[in-house]
Structure 1
Amino acid sequence: MTGTVIWVAGAFVGEDERALSAVDHGITVGDGAFETCTVVDGQAFALTRHLRRLERSVTGLGLDLPDEQQVRDGVSAVLGRLGRVDGRLRITVTAGPGPLGSNRAPAAQTVVVAAAAGAMAPEGRAVRSPWTRNERSAIAGLKTTSYAENVVALADAVAKGGDEALFANTLGDLCEGTGTNVFVERGGELVTPTLASGCLAGITRALVLEWGAEAGLPVREAKEGELPFTVLDEVTRGDAQLVLTSSGRNVQPVTWLDGVDVAVGEVSRAARELFDRLHRERVDP
Protein backbone atom coordinates (compact mmCIF):
# COMPACT_ATOMS: atom_id res chain seq x y z
CA MET A 1 0.00 0.00 0.00
CA THR A 2 1.23 3.53 -0.77
CA GLY A 3 0.66 6.65 1.33
CA THR A 4 0.05 6.90 5.06
CA VAL A 5 -2.32 4.51 6.83
CA ILE A 6 -4.15 6.31 9.64
CA TRP A 7 -6.30 4.85 12.43
CA VAL A 8 -8.11 7.12 14.90
CA ALA A 9 -10.00 5.71 17.88
CA GLY A 10 -10.88 2.47 16.16
CA ALA A 11 -11.53 3.61 12.60
CA PHE A 12 -9.42 4.17 9.50
CA VAL A 13 -9.42 7.68 8.04
CA GLY A 14 -7.93 9.15 4.90
CA GLU A 15 -5.01 11.55 4.91
CA ASP A 16 -7.32 14.42 3.92
CA GLU A 17 -10.23 13.52 6.21
CA ARG A 18 -11.09 15.52 9.32
CA ALA A 19 -10.51 13.16 12.22
CA LEU A 20 -9.83 15.19 15.40
CA SER A 21 -11.82 17.84 17.25
CA ALA A 22 -10.69 21.40 16.59
CA VAL A 23 -10.40 21.80 20.38
CA ASP A 24 -8.42 18.61 20.97
CA HIS A 25 -5.74 19.58 23.49
CA GLY A 26 -3.14 17.87 21.36
CA ILE A 27 -3.81 20.53 18.71
CA THR A 28 -4.52 23.63 20.80
CA VAL A 29 -1.69 23.33 23.34
CA GLY A 30 0.36 20.27 22.37
CA ASP A 31 -0.96 18.30 25.35
CA GLY A 32 -0.05 14.75 24.47
CA ALA A 33 2.68 12.17 24.03
CA PHE A 34 3.83 10.03 21.14
CA GLU A 35 6.13 7.22 20.09
CA THR A 36 7.69 6.47 16.72
CA CYS A 37 8.60 2.87 15.91
CA THR A 38 10.68 1.53 13.07
CA VAL A 39 8.66 -0.81 10.87
CA VAL A 40 10.67 -3.87 9.87
CA ASP A 41 9.09 -6.12 7.25
CA GLY A 42 5.63 -5.05 8.35
CA GLN A 43 6.28 -5.37 12.10
CA ALA A 44 6.72 -2.64 14.71
CA PHE A 45 10.25 -2.93 16.08
CA ALA A 46 10.64 -2.84 19.90
CA LEU A 47 6.93 -2.14 20.35
CA THR A 48 6.86 -3.20 24.01
CA ARG A 49 9.72 -0.84 24.88
CA HIS A 50 7.98 1.98 23.03
CA LEU A 51 4.72 1.34 24.90
CA ARG A 52 6.54 1.42 28.24
CA ARG A 53 8.11 4.76 27.35
CA LEU A 54 4.74 6.06 26.17
CA GLU A 55 3.39 5.20 29.61
CA ARG A 56 6.22 7.17 31.24
CA SER A 57 5.56 10.20 29.05
CA VAL A 58 1.80 10.10 29.61
CA THR A 59 2.27 9.69 33.36
CA GLY A 60 4.82 12.51 33.40
CA LEU A 61 2.24 14.78 31.77
CA GLY A 62 -0.31 13.87 34.41
CA LEU A 63 -2.64 12.11 31.98
CA ASP A 64 -4.43 8.82 32.46
CA LEU A 65 -2.78 5.84 30.82
CA PRO A 66 -4.34 4.78 27.51
CA ASP A 67 -5.76 1.29 27.17
CA GLU A 68 -2.76 -0.72 25.99
CA GLN A 69 -4.87 -3.29 24.17
CA GLN A 70 -6.60 -0.53 22.23
CA VAL A 71 -3.21 0.83 21.19
CA ARG A 72 -1.94 -2.61 20.19
CA ASP A 73 -5.13 -3.24 18.23
CA GLY A 74 -4.57 0.01 16.37
CA VAL A 75 -0.97 -0.92 15.60
CA SER A 76 -2.03 -4.34 14.30
CA ALA A 77 -4.77 -2.86 12.16
CA VAL A 78 -2.52 -0.22 10.60
CA LEU A 79 0.35 -2.61 9.92
CA GLY A 80 -2.04 -5.16 8.45
CA ARG A 81 -3.17 -2.60 5.92
CA LEU A 82 0.33 -1.21 5.30
CA GLY A 83 1.75 -4.60 4.32
CA ARG A 84 5.16 -6.24 4.69
CA VAL A 85 7.35 -3.21 4.13
CA ASP A 86 9.96 -1.20 6.02
CA GLY A 87 8.94 2.21 7.26
CA ARG A 88 7.81 4.14 10.30
CA LEU A 89 4.83 3.95 12.66
CA ARG A 90 3.68 6.66 15.06
CA ILE A 91 1.42 6.29 18.10
CA THR A 92 -0.04 9.52 19.48
CA VAL A 93 -2.09 9.96 22.65
CA THR A 94 -3.60 13.36 23.45
CA ALA A 95 -5.62 14.66 26.38
CA GLY A 96 -8.67 14.85 24.12
CA PRO A 97 -11.04 17.81 23.68
CA GLY A 98 -10.49 20.63 26.15
CA PRO A 99 -10.63 24.40 26.65
CA LEU A 100 -8.67 26.78 24.46
CA GLY A 101 -6.32 27.54 27.33
CA SER A 102 -3.89 25.33 29.21
CA ASN A 103 -6.39 23.96 31.71
CA ARG A 104 -7.68 20.48 31.00
CA ALA A 105 -11.26 19.31 31.01
CA PRO A 106 -12.32 15.72 31.75
CA ALA A 107 -12.51 14.09 28.33
CA ALA A 108 -11.84 10.86 26.54
CA GLN A 109 -8.30 10.68 25.27
CA THR A 110 -7.57 10.62 21.56
CA VAL A 111 -5.46 7.73 20.26
CA VAL A 112 -4.00 7.91 16.75
CA VAL A 113 -1.85 5.30 15.01
CA ALA A 114 -0.31 6.09 11.62
CA ALA A 115 2.30 4.38 9.48
CA ALA A 116 3.96 4.74 6.10
CA ALA A 117 6.62 2.91 4.11
CA GLY A 118 10.03 4.52 3.83
CA ALA A 119 13.78 4.05 3.85
CA MET A 120 16.48 5.46 6.14
CA ALA A 121 19.41 7.55 5.01
CA PRO A 122 22.76 5.83 5.68
CA GLU A 123 24.52 9.01 6.82
CA GLY A 124 23.61 12.19 8.68
CA ARG A 125 24.47 15.89 8.40
CA ALA A 126 24.41 17.79 11.69
CA VAL A 127 24.47 21.43 12.74
CA ARG A 128 25.06 22.89 16.18
CA SER A 129 21.88 24.61 17.32
CA PRO A 130 22.06 28.14 18.74
CA TRP A 131 19.37 27.14 21.27
CA THR A 132 19.66 24.92 24.36
CA ARG A 133 17.80 22.08 26.03
CA ASN A 134 16.56 22.77 29.54
CA GLU A 135 17.48 19.72 31.58
CA ARG A 136 15.25 21.03 34.40
CA SER A 137 12.15 21.49 32.26
CA ALA A 138 8.85 19.99 33.43
CA ILE A 139 8.88 17.80 30.32
CA ALA A 140 12.61 16.97 30.20
CA GLY A 141 13.00 13.36 29.12
CA LEU A 142 9.35 13.04 28.03
CA LYS A 143 8.37 12.44 24.40
CA THR A 144 5.56 14.97 24.11
CA THR A 145 3.72 16.55 21.19
CA SER A 146 4.99 19.97 22.32
CA TYR A 147 7.56 19.93 19.54
CA ALA A 148 7.77 23.55 18.41
CA GLU A 149 11.33 24.14 19.62
CA ASN A 150 12.45 21.04 17.72
CA VAL A 151 10.71 22.22 14.57
CA VAL A 152 12.38 25.64 14.76
CA ALA A 153 15.82 24.19 15.49
CA LEU A 154 15.56 21.60 12.72
CA ALA A 155 14.43 24.23 10.20
CA ASP A 156 17.50 26.27 11.14
CA ALA A 157 19.73 23.23 10.58
CA VAL A 158 18.14 22.44 7.23
CA ALA A 159 18.64 26.05 6.11
CA LYS A 160 22.34 25.60 6.91
CA GLY A 161 22.64 22.37 4.92
CA GLY A 162 22.03 19.80 7.66
CA ASP A 163 19.33 17.29 8.48
CA GLU A 164 19.62 17.41 12.28
CA ALA A 165 20.32 20.04 14.93
CA LEU A 166 22.36 19.27 18.04
CA PHE A 167 21.59 20.84 21.41
CA ALA A 168 23.70 21.69 24.42
CA ASN A 169 21.88 21.81 27.74
CA THR A 170 21.89 24.84 30.03
CA LEU A 171 25.08 23.57 31.72
CA GLY A 172 26.96 23.56 28.42
CA ASP A 173 27.04 19.78 28.01
CA LEU A 174 26.20 17.90 24.83
CA CYS A 175 22.58 16.74 25.16
CA GLU A 176 20.76 15.43 22.06
CA GLY A 177 19.35 16.26 18.65
CA THR A 178 15.83 17.41 17.81
CA GLY A 179 14.78 13.81 17.29
CA THR A 180 17.92 11.81 18.05
CA ASN A 181 20.34 10.74 20.71
CA VAL A 182 24.04 11.39 20.16
CA PHE A 183 27.13 9.20 20.57
CA VAL A 184 30.69 10.50 20.32
CA GLU A 185 33.52 8.17 19.35
CA ARG A 186 36.78 9.22 20.97
CA GLY A 187 39.67 7.29 22.43
CA GLY A 188 38.38 4.06 20.93
CA GLU A 189 35.04 4.27 22.78
CA LEU A 190 31.50 5.19 21.78
CA VAL A 191 30.10 7.43 24.53
CA THR A 192 26.63 8.97 24.93
CA PRO A 193 25.37 11.71 27.28
CA THR A 194 23.63 10.51 30.44
CA LEU A 195 19.90 10.93 30.91
CA ALA A 196 20.69 13.57 33.55
CA SER A 197 21.70 15.83 30.65
CA GLY A 198 18.00 16.18 29.81
CA CYS A 199 18.06 13.95 26.75
CA LEU A 200 15.31 11.50 25.89
CA ALA A 201 15.77 7.89 26.98
CA GLY A 202 15.96 6.70 23.38
CA ILE A 203 15.02 3.12 22.55
CA THR A 204 17.78 2.85 19.94
CA ARG A 205 20.24 4.48 22.36
CA ALA A 206 19.45 1.88 25.02
CA LEU A 207 19.79 -1.00 22.58
CA VAL A 208 23.13 0.27 21.28
CA LEU A 209 24.39 0.26 24.87
CA GLU A 210 22.94 -3.19 25.59
CA TRP A 211 23.75 -4.92 22.32
CA GLY A 212 27.12 -3.23 22.07
CA ALA A 213 28.13 -4.45 25.51
CA GLU A 214 26.82 -7.92 24.66
CA ALA A 215 28.98 -7.97 21.52
CA GLY A 216 32.06 -6.64 23.31
CA LEU A 217 32.01 -3.19 21.73
CA PRO A 218 33.36 -0.33 23.88
CA VAL A 219 30.08 1.59 24.36
CA ARG A 220 28.98 3.39 27.53
CA GLU A 221 27.33 6.41 29.08
CA ALA A 222 29.48 9.46 29.72
CA LYS A 223 30.75 10.47 33.13
CA GLU A 224 29.71 13.82 34.55
CA GLY A 225 31.28 16.63 32.53
CA GLU A 226 32.92 14.23 30.07
CA LEU A 227 31.03 15.47 26.99
CA PRO A 228 30.91 19.27 26.94
CA PHE A 229 29.28 20.78 23.86
CA THR A 230 32.77 21.78 22.73
CA VAL A 231 33.53 18.10 22.12
CA LEU A 232 32.01 18.76 18.70
CA ASP A 233 35.12 20.82 17.91
CA GLU A 234 37.06 17.55 18.19
CA VAL A 235 34.74 16.06 15.57
CA THR A 236 35.32 18.85 13.06
CA ARG A 237 39.09 18.61 13.70
CA GLY A 238 38.99 14.90 12.95
CA ASP A 239 39.93 13.83 16.49
CA ALA A 240 36.52 12.29 17.25
CA GLN A 241 33.51 10.96 15.36
CA LEU A 242 29.75 11.34 15.78
CA VAL A 243 26.73 9.02 15.56
CA LEU A 244 23.00 9.76 15.72
CA THR A 245 20.51 7.16 16.95
CA SER A 246 16.72 7.10 16.70
CA SER A 247 13.84 5.05 15.36
CA GLY A 248 13.95 7.16 12.22
CA ARG A 249 17.68 6.66 11.65
CA ASN A 250 18.68 3.52 13.58
CA VAL A 251 22.47 3.97 14.04
CA GLN A 252 23.51 6.72 11.64
CA PRO A 253 27.10 8.01 11.41
CA VAL A 254 27.46 11.75 10.85
CA THR A 255 29.61 12.58 7.83
CA TRP A 256 29.12 16.38 7.81
CA LEU A 257 29.11 18.74 10.79
CA ASP A 258 28.71 22.50 10.52
CA GLY A 259 29.89 22.54 6.92
CA VAL A 260 32.86 20.23 7.48
CA ASP A 261 33.10 16.71 6.06
CA VAL A 262 33.95 14.30 8.87
CA ALA A 263 35.01 10.64 8.93
CA VAL A 264 33.13 7.63 10.27
CA GLY A 265 34.82 5.92 13.22
CA GLU A 266 35.57 2.21 13.42
CA VAL A 267 33.45 1.65 16.53
CA SER A 268 30.66 3.71 15.00
CA ARG A 269 30.68 1.56 11.88
CA ALA A 270 30.71 -1.64 13.95
CA ALA A 271 27.77 -0.39 16.06
CA ARG A 272 25.78 0.38 12.92
CA GLU A 273 26.46 -3.04 11.43
CA LEU A 274 25.54 -4.77 14.69
CA PHE A 275 22.27 -2.88 15.00
CA ASP A 276 21.36 -3.38 11.34
CA ARG A 277 21.66 -7.13 11.86
CA LEU A 278 20.08 -7.54 15.28
CA HIS A 279 17.05 -5.29 14.79
CA ARG A 280 15.86 -7.69 12.07
CA GLU A 281 16.57 -10.76 14.19
CA ARG A 282 15.04 -9.43 17.45
CA VAL A 283 11.80 -7.69 16.58
CA ASP A 284 10.64 -7.00 20.15
CA PRO A 285 13.79 -7.05 22.31
Structure 2
Amino acid sequence: MRWLWLNDGLVAADAARIDPGDRGLTLGDGVFETMRVAHGRIAHVARHLDRLCQGAEVLMFPRPDLDRVEDALRQVVRRNDMTDGSLRLTLTRGCGPRGVMPPAQPSPTLLVTPALPPATPPPPAHMIVSTQIRRDEASPLSRIKSLNYLPNILARLEAARQGGDEALMLNLAGRVAEASASTVVIHRQGRLVTPPVAEGALPGIARAVLLAAGMLDEAPLELDDLRQADGVFLTSSLSVREVARLDGVVLARNAGMADAMRACVYS
Protein backbone atom coordinates (compact mmCIF):
# COMPACT_ATOMS: atom_id res chain seq x y z
CA MET A 1 0.00 0.00 0.00
CA ARG A 2 1.26 3.47 -0.88
CA TRP A 3 1.05 6.20 1.77
CA LEU A 4 0.96 9.94 1.21
CA TRP A 5 0.69 13.05 3.33
CA LEU A 6 -2.45 15.19 3.10
CA ASN A 7 -2.69 18.33 5.26
CA ASP A 8 -2.21 16.99 8.77
CA GLY A 9 -1.09 13.39 8.49
CA LEU A 10 -0.34 10.23 6.58
CA VAL A 11 -3.18 8.78 4.51
CA ALA A 12 -3.43 5.60 2.43
CA ALA A 13 -3.38 6.66 -1.23
CA ASP A 14 -6.72 5.02 -2.01
CA ALA A 15 -8.36 6.87 0.90
CA ALA A 16 -7.06 10.37 0.12
CA ARG A 17 -9.65 12.96 -0.90
CA ILE A 18 -9.19 16.50 -2.22
CA ASP A 19 -12.03 18.96 -1.62
CA PRO A 20 -13.76 19.77 -4.95
CA GLY A 21 -13.49 23.45 -4.06
CA ASP A 22 -9.71 23.38 -3.75
CA ARG A 23 -8.27 26.21 -5.85
CA GLY A 24 -5.33 24.06 -6.86
CA LEU A 25 -7.80 21.78 -8.64
CA THR A 26 -10.14 24.43 -10.03
CA LEU A 27 -7.70 27.24 -10.87
CA GLY A 28 -4.16 25.85 -10.73
CA ASP A 29 -3.62 28.15 -7.73
CA GLY A 30 -0.54 26.60 -6.17
CA VAL A 31 3.09 25.57 -6.43
CA PHE A 32 4.94 22.27 -6.38
CA GLU A 33 8.38 20.71 -5.93
CA THR A 34 9.74 17.38 -7.17
CA MET A 35 12.53 15.96 -5.03
CA ARG A 36 14.91 13.07 -5.55
CA VAL A 37 15.20 10.38 -2.88
CA ALA A 38 18.48 8.44 -2.91
CA HIS A 39 19.57 5.91 -0.28
CA GLY A 40 16.65 7.05 1.86
CA ARG A 41 17.78 10.69 1.83
CA ILE A 42 15.92 13.61 0.26
CA ALA A 43 18.40 15.40 -1.99
CA HIS A 44 18.84 19.16 -1.62
CA VAL A 45 15.77 19.48 0.58
CA ALA A 46 16.79 22.93 1.89
CA ARG A 47 17.02 24.30 -1.66
CA HIS A 48 13.61 22.88 -2.54
CA LEU A 49 11.99 24.37 0.55
CA ASP A 50 13.58 27.74 -0.14
CA ARG A 51 12.16 27.72 -3.67
CA LEU A 52 8.78 26.64 -2.28
CA CYS A 53 8.79 29.73 -0.05
CA GLN A 54 9.73 31.96 -2.97
CA GLY A 55 6.84 30.58 -4.99
CA ALA A 56 4.43 31.03 -2.08
CA GLU A 57 5.57 34.63 -1.72
CA VAL A 58 5.01 35.38 -5.41
CA LEU A 59 1.48 33.92 -5.18
CA MET A 60 0.84 35.82 -1.90
CA PHE A 61 0.28 32.64 0.13
CA PRO A 62 0.85 32.49 3.88
CA ARG A 63 4.49 31.53 4.48
CA PRO A 64 4.69 27.72 4.76
CA ASP A 65 5.71 26.18 8.09
CA LEU A 66 8.94 24.63 6.82
CA ASP A 67 9.46 22.43 9.88
CA ARG A 68 6.02 20.93 9.33
CA VAL A 69 6.62 20.51 5.61
CA GLU A 70 9.99 18.83 6.09
CA ASP A 71 8.53 16.51 8.73
CA ALA A 72 5.78 15.52 6.27
CA LEU A 73 8.37 14.74 3.60
CA ARG A 74 10.42 12.55 5.91
CA GLN A 75 7.37 10.73 7.24
CA VAL A 76 6.33 9.80 3.69
CA VAL A 77 9.82 8.44 3.03
CA ARG A 78 9.81 6.38 6.24
CA ARG A 79 6.23 5.08 5.96
CA ASN A 80 6.79 3.89 2.39
CA ASP A 81 10.22 2.39 3.20
CA MET A 82 11.65 4.45 0.36
CA THR A 83 15.25 3.89 -0.61
CA ASP A 84 15.24 5.49 -4.06
CA GLY A 85 12.57 7.38 -5.94
CA SER A 86 11.02 10.83 -5.76
CA LEU A 87 8.58 12.96 -3.79
CA ARG A 88 6.09 15.41 -5.25
CA LEU A 89 5.17 18.23 -2.84
CA THR A 90 2.08 20.22 -3.80
CA LEU A 91 0.95 23.34 -1.95
CA THR A 92 -2.34 25.00 -2.98
CA ARG A 93 -4.13 28.03 -1.60
CA GLY A 94 -6.83 25.68 -0.38
CA CYS A 95 -10.57 26.06 -0.79
CA GLY A 96 -12.40 29.24 -1.68
CA PRO A 97 -15.65 30.60 -3.04
CA ARG A 98 -16.48 30.48 -6.73
CA GLY A 99 -14.62 33.14 -8.68
CA VAL A 100 -11.09 34.42 -9.11
CA MET A 101 -10.57 36.20 -5.79
CA PRO A 102 -9.26 33.96 -2.99
CA PRO A 103 -10.52 34.06 0.60
CA ALA A 104 -8.99 36.73 2.82
CA GLN A 105 -7.66 34.07 5.19
CA PRO A 106 -6.70 31.05 3.07
CA SER A 107 -6.08 27.61 4.56
CA PRO A 108 -3.49 26.02 2.23
CA THR A 109 -3.60 22.34 1.24
CA LEU A 110 -0.35 20.36 1.60
CA LEU A 111 0.05 17.12 -0.34
CA VAL A 112 3.16 14.90 -0.54
CA THR A 113 3.13 11.85 -2.81
CA PRO A 114 5.90 9.27 -3.42
CA ALA A 115 6.97 7.62 -6.67
CA LEU A 116 9.40 4.85 -7.54
CA PRO A 117 12.31 5.57 -9.89
CA PRO A 118 11.82 4.62 -13.56
CA ALA A 119 12.93 1.11 -14.46
CA THR A 120 15.48 2.49 -16.94
CA PRO A 121 16.89 6.00 -17.40
CA PRO A 122 15.48 7.98 -20.33
CA PRO A 123 17.46 7.72 -23.60
CA PRO A 124 19.09 10.79 -25.17
CA ALA A 125 16.39 13.28 -26.10
CA HIS A 126 15.08 14.13 -29.54
CA MET A 127 14.12 17.74 -28.93
CA ILE A 128 11.84 19.93 -31.03
CA VAL A 129 11.77 23.73 -30.86
CA SER A 130 8.22 24.76 -29.97
CA THR A 131 6.71 27.21 -32.44
CA GLN A 132 3.48 27.59 -30.47
CA ILE A 133 4.68 28.29 -26.92
CA ARG A 134 7.04 31.01 -25.70
CA ARG A 135 8.29 31.73 -22.19
CA ASP A 136 7.44 35.22 -20.97
CA GLU A 137 10.72 36.26 -19.37
CA ALA A 138 9.05 39.33 -17.81
CA SER A 139 6.41 37.33 -15.95
CA PRO A 140 7.02 36.49 -12.27
CA LEU A 141 5.38 33.12 -12.97
CA SER A 142 8.36 32.14 -15.13
CA ARG A 143 10.45 31.96 -11.95
CA ILE A 144 8.25 29.65 -9.88
CA LYS A 145 6.95 26.08 -10.23
CA SER A 146 3.27 26.91 -10.42
CA LEU A 147 0.57 24.28 -10.80
CA ASN A 148 -0.49 25.85 -14.09
CA TYR A 149 1.75 23.78 -16.37
CA LEU A 150 -0.36 24.09 -19.50
CA PRO A 151 2.28 25.90 -21.60
CA ASN A 152 4.78 23.12 -20.82
CA ILE A 153 2.19 20.44 -21.59
CA LEU A 154 1.26 22.03 -24.91
CA ALA A 155 4.93 22.36 -25.89
CA ARG A 156 5.53 18.69 -25.10
CA LEU A 157 2.44 17.67 -27.09
CA GLU A 158 3.70 19.71 -30.03
CA ALA A 159 7.01 17.85 -29.82
CA ALA A 160 5.27 14.47 -29.67
CA ARG A 161 3.27 15.25 -32.80
CA GLN A 162 6.55 15.86 -34.62
CA GLY A 163 8.14 12.65 -33.37
CA GLY A 164 10.15 14.28 -30.57
CA ASP A 165 10.15 13.50 -26.87
CA GLU A 166 11.07 16.93 -25.49
CA ALA A 167 10.29 20.54 -26.36
CA LEU A 168 12.60 23.54 -26.26
CA MET A 169 10.85 26.79 -25.39
CA LEU A 170 12.22 30.14 -26.52
CA ASN A 171 11.49 33.41 -24.75
CA LEU A 172 9.63 36.35 -26.27
CA ALA A 173 12.94 37.69 -27.63
CA GLY A 174 13.52 34.41 -29.49
CA ARG A 175 16.39 33.23 -27.28
CA VAL A 176 16.64 29.89 -25.47
CA ALA A 177 14.71 29.73 -22.17
CA GLU A 178 14.26 26.10 -21.08
CA ALA A 179 12.83 22.72 -22.00
CA SER A 180 9.33 21.66 -21.00
CA ALA A 181 10.48 20.17 -17.68
CA SER A 182 14.24 20.74 -17.57
CA THR A 183 17.02 23.31 -17.56
CA VAL A 184 18.98 23.58 -20.83
CA VAL A 185 22.77 23.38 -20.47
CA ILE A 186 25.35 23.41 -23.27
CA HIS A 187 29.06 22.61 -23.31
CA ARG A 188 31.23 24.97 -25.35
CA GLN A 189 34.89 25.96 -25.21
CA GLY A 190 35.43 23.77 -22.18
CA ARG A 191 32.65 25.31 -20.06
CA LEU A 192 29.03 24.52 -19.24
CA VAL A 193 26.59 27.36 -19.95
CA THR A 194 22.89 27.88 -19.21
CA PRO A 195 20.50 30.81 -19.83
CA PRO A 196 20.09 33.30 -16.95
CA VAL A 197 16.81 33.29 -15.03
CA ALA A 198 16.13 36.71 -16.60
CA GLU A 199 15.79 34.90 -19.96
CA GLY A 200 12.71 33.03 -18.71
CA ALA A 201 14.49 30.00 -17.28
CA LEU A 202 13.12 28.45 -14.10
CA PRO A 203 15.70 28.58 -11.27
CA GLY A 204 16.18 24.80 -11.22
CA ILE A 205 17.68 22.95 -8.27
CA ALA A 206 20.28 21.01 -10.29
CA ARG A 207 21.12 24.30 -12.01
CA ALA A 208 21.70 25.96 -8.62
CA VAL A 209 23.94 23.12 -7.42
CA LEU A 210 26.08 23.30 -10.57
CA LEU A 211 26.36 27.08 -10.28
CA ALA A 212 27.39 26.85 -6.62
CA ALA A 213 30.02 24.24 -7.51
CA GLY A 214 31.54 26.57 -10.13
CA MET A 215 30.77 24.11 -12.93
CA LEU A 216 28.22 26.29 -14.72
CA ASP A 217 28.20 29.78 -16.25
CA GLU A 218 25.18 31.91 -17.19
CA ALA A 219 24.82 33.61 -20.58
CA PRO A 220 22.01 34.23 -23.09
CA LEU A 221 21.84 31.46 -25.69
CA GLU A 222 20.65 31.46 -29.28
CA LEU A 223 19.51 28.38 -31.16
CA ASP A 224 22.79 28.34 -33.07
CA ASP A 225 24.63 28.03 -29.76
CA LEU A 226 22.90 24.68 -29.23
CA ARG A 227 23.53 23.53 -32.79
CA GLN A 228 27.25 24.35 -32.54
CA ALA A 229 27.81 23.16 -28.96
CA ASP A 230 30.06 20.29 -27.93
CA GLY A 231 27.12 18.82 -26.02
CA VAL A 232 23.57 19.78 -25.04
CA PHE A 233 21.99 18.52 -21.80
CA LEU A 234 18.70 18.66 -19.92
CA THR A 235 19.05 18.80 -16.14
CA SER A 236 16.47 18.47 -13.40
CA SER A 237 16.20 17.29 -9.82
CA LEU A 238 15.78 13.75 -11.13
CA SER A 239 18.13 13.36 -14.10
CA VAL A 240 20.82 14.66 -16.44
CA ARG A 241 19.95 13.77 -20.01
CA GLU A 242 21.90 14.29 -23.22
CA VAL A 243 20.14 15.78 -26.27
CA ALA A 244 20.81 13.73 -29.40
CA ARG A 245 18.84 15.76 -31.96
CA LEU A 246 17.33 19.23 -32.27
CA ASP A 247 14.60 19.56 -34.90
CA GLY A 248 15.98 16.40 -36.48
CA VAL A 249 19.58 17.67 -36.70
CA VAL A 250 22.16 15.46 -34.97
CA LEU A 251 24.00 17.25 -32.13
CA ALA A 252 27.44 16.59 -30.67
CA ARG A 253 27.40 14.29 -27.65
CA ASN A 254 29.50 14.31 -24.48
CA ALA A 255 28.66 11.44 -22.14
CA GLY A 256 31.63 12.23 -19.90
CA MET A 257 30.33 15.71 -19.14
CA ALA A 258 26.88 14.31 -18.40
CA ASP A 259 28.48 11.92 -15.90
CA ALA A 260 30.40 14.80 -14.30
CA MET A 261 27.17 16.75 -13.80
CA ARG A 262 25.44 13.71 -12.31
CA ALA A 263 28.32 13.23 -9.89
CA CYS A 264 28.03 16.86 -8.79
CA VAL A 265 24.27 17.00 -8.41
CA TYR A 266 23.34 13.51 -7.29
CA SER A 267 26.29 12.29 -5.20
Question: TM-score if structure 1 supplies the norm length?
Answer: 0.85
- Match of 1:127? 128
8 Å CA contact 1:33–1:54 kept in 2: the answer is yes
Residue 252 of structure 1 pairs with residue 241 of structure 2:
yes
Tell me how far apart the structure 1 counterparts of residues 15 and 241 of structure 2 sit (CA, whole Å).
35
Tell me how far apart the structure 1 counterparts of residues 140 and 264 of structure 2 sit (CA, whole Å).
35
8 Å CA contact 2:143–2:201 kept in 1: the answer is yes
Deviation at 1:203, TM superposition (A): 0.8
8 Å CA contact 2:137–2:172 kept in 1: the answer is yes
1:142-195 per-position Cα deviation (integer Å, ceiling 9, x unaligned): 111111111111122223232221111001110011111101222332210011
Question: TM-score if structure 2 supplies the norm length?
Answer: 0.90
Counting only pairs closer than 5 Å after superposition, residues 210-229 of structure 1 correspond to structure 2 as 210-211=212-213, 213=214, 219-222=216-219, 226-229=220-223
Q: Matched residue of 2:142: which SS?
A: coil
8 Å CA contact 2:210–2:264 kept in 1: the answer is no
- Match of 1:117? 116
Deviation at 1:41, TM superposition (A): 1.6
| Runs of 4 or more consecutive aligned structure 1 residues displaced over 6 Å after TM superposition | none
Deviation at 1:18, TM superposition (A): 4.6
Aligned length: 263
Deviation at 1:259, TM superposition (A): 2.5
- Match of 1:10? 8
- Match of 2:68? 70
Q: Matched residue of 1:6: which SS?
A: strand
8 Å CA contact 2:210–2:265 kept in 1: the answer is no
Q: Percent identity?
A: 34
Deviation at 1:255, TM superposition (A): 1.5
- Match of 1:185? 187
The RMSD of aligned alpha carbons is 2.0
Tell me how far apart the structure 1 counterparts of residues 12 and 166 of structure 2 sit (CA, whole Å).
30
Structure 2 gap ranges (5+): none
Structure 1 gap ranges (5+): none
Tell me how far apart the structure 1 counterparts of residues 249 and 110 of structure 2 sit (CA, whole Å).
42
Q: Which has the higher contact order (CA 8 A, sep 6+)?
A: 1
8 Å CA contact 2:206–2:265 kept in 1: the answer is no
Tell me how far apart the structure 1 counterparts of residues 98 and 181 of structure 2 sit (CA, whole Å).
28
2:176 aligns with one of 164, 174, 177: 174
Deviation at 1:51, TM superposition (A): 0.2
8 Å CA contact 1:5–1:14 kept in 2: the answer is yes
8 Å CA contact 1:28–1:100 kept in 2: the answer is no
8 Å CA contact 2:7–2:109 kept in 1: the answer is yes
Deviation at 1:201, TM superposition (A): 0.7
Tell me how far apart the structure 2 counterparts of residues 240 and 132 of structure 1 sit (CA, whole Å).
25
Seen in structure 2, the aligned counterparts of structure 1 residues 279 and 174 have a Cα distance that, compared at 3 Å, is: closer
